[in-house]
Amino acid sequence: MMNKKEQIDLNFKLHAEALAKECNLMQVLSTDNINYIDSGLKADTFNVIHIETTESISKEEVESVVNFYENRLRESCIWIESSKLNTKLEEIFSQLSIVKSGLNEGMYFSNVNAIKEIEHCSNIYQVDKKQDIIDHAFVIANNWDPFDVNVLHYYDRTSSDILNNKKTLLFNYIEDNVVVGVIELFIEKEHPKNAGIYNLSVMKENRRKGIGEKLIKHTMQVAKNLGIESLFLQASDDSKNLFLKEGFEIDGEFMEFCKK
C-alpha cells in the first residue's frame, strides 16, 4: 500500500499525462525510470519530465530524455519526490548541468466525507464551454512573470478533451463578469476515490480578498459530493497556508530541476 507522499507523486504523474494522452498534438513517453510529456510547445510548463525510480537510472537515460526536448528547441522541467534524489542522480545532474529551480510541499486531505457543508458561492461556476477554458487559462498565464502565452496555447489545444471528459473539472471565479480566480479538480481514472487539486490562481489585483479560500472550499465540497475520499496536491509557498487552513496536512517535498 502506498504512503501519502507516494500517492501525491502518483497523482502528479497521472495529472501531467491525462490530457496529453487525449490530445493528438501531444504524446506521453517513457524509459525504464522516467515518464515525460511532449506538449509540442516551446516553454517548459507542460513539458514535464517525471522521474519515478532512481536505483537503476543512468546518465545516458537522463541525457536522452533532456536531449529529446533540446533537439526540438523546447524547454523542459524535471520533477522528483525528494527522497528519491540519491547521490547517483545528483552526480548525473551535475554532469549534465541540471540545477534545482523550485520546491513544492506535498499535501493531502484524507477525510473528505467529514467536510462540513458550505453555502454555495454564486461567483464560482464549472467551465462548460471553450471560452470558459480560455478565460481560465488567462488567469493561470498571468501568474507567470512574464505572462506565459504557452498556457493559452495548451488549453486551446486540450479544450475539447477537457469538455468531453469527466475527470478534469475546471472552476472559475467571476467578479464584475470577469474571471479573476481559477482552480482544478483532477480525478484519477483508475482510482476515482482519489483526486488532486491543481492550478489555484488568482489575479494579482484581486488577491487578499478571500477568493483563493472560497475556491478551495468549493472544490473540496464538489469532491465530497462526487464521493471522493482523498485529495492530494503540491503547494507552493504562496498557497501552502491556504490549504493548511482548510485542514490539509504536509507530507513530502517535490523538487523541480531544469537545464542550466
Domain holding 230: CATH number? 3.40.630.30
Residue 257 located in a structural domain: no
Task: Mark whether 124 and 246 lie in a shared domain.
Answer: yes
Task: Mark whether 63 and 140 lie in a shared domain.
Answer: no
Task: Mark whether 43 and 78 lie in a shared domain.
Answer: yes
Residue 224 located in a structural domain: yes
Q: What is the mean pLDDT of residues 230-244?
A: 96
For 98-139, the pLDDT digits (tens) are 999 999 999 999 999 999 998 889 999 999 999 999 999 999
Of the chain, the percentage scoring pLDDT greater than 90 comes to: 95
Collapse the DSSP code of 38 into the 3-class scheme (helix H, G, I; strand E, B; otherwise coil) and give the result.
strand
Q: What is the mean pLDDT of residues 51-78?
A: 97
Rounded to an integer, what distance in angstroms lies between the CA atom of residue 100 and that of residue 192? 33
Last residue of a domain, one of 69, 104, 139: 104
The overall average pLDDT reported for the chain is: 97
Task: Mark whether 243 and 119 lie in a shared domain.
Answer: yes
In 3D space, the residue among 141, 150, 124, 129 whose CA is nearest the CA of residue 203 turns out to be 141
Task: Mark whether 133 and 161 lie in a shared domain.
Answer: yes
Task: Mark whether 119 and 243 lie in a shared domain.
Answer: yes
Residue 16 located in a structural domain: yes
Residue 260 located in a structural domain: no
Residue 145: the pLDDT is 87
Q: Which domain holds residue 151?
A: 112-252
Rounded to an integer, what distance in angstroms lies between the CA atom of residue 38 and that of residue 15? 14
For 127-193, give the DSSP string. Answer: --SHHHHHHHHHHHHHTSSS--HHHHHHHHHHHHHHHH-SSEEEEEEEETTEEEEEEEEEE-SS-TT
Task: Mark whether 94 and 9 lie in a shared domain.
Answer: yes
Residue 217 located in a structural domain: yes
Task: Mark whether 184 and 248 lie in a shared domain.
Answer: yes
Residue 1: the pLDDT is 84
Task: Mark whether 245 and 130 lie in a shared domain.
Answer: yes
Task: Mark whether 159 and 68 lie in a shared domain.
Answer: no
Q: What is the mean pLDDT of residues 71-82?
A: 97
Task: Mark whether 148 and 87 lie in a shared domain.
Answer: no
Last residue of a domain, one of 86, 104, 122: 104
Last residue of a domain, one of 104, 125, 142: 104
Domains contained in the chain, number: 2
pLDDT at 178 over 90: yes
Task: Mark whether 117 and 100 lie in a shared domain.
Answer: no
| Chain mean position to CA 95 | 28
Residue 259 located in a structural domain: no
Contact 174, 140 (CB under 8 A): no
To the question of pTM greater than 0.75 for the whole model, the response is: yes
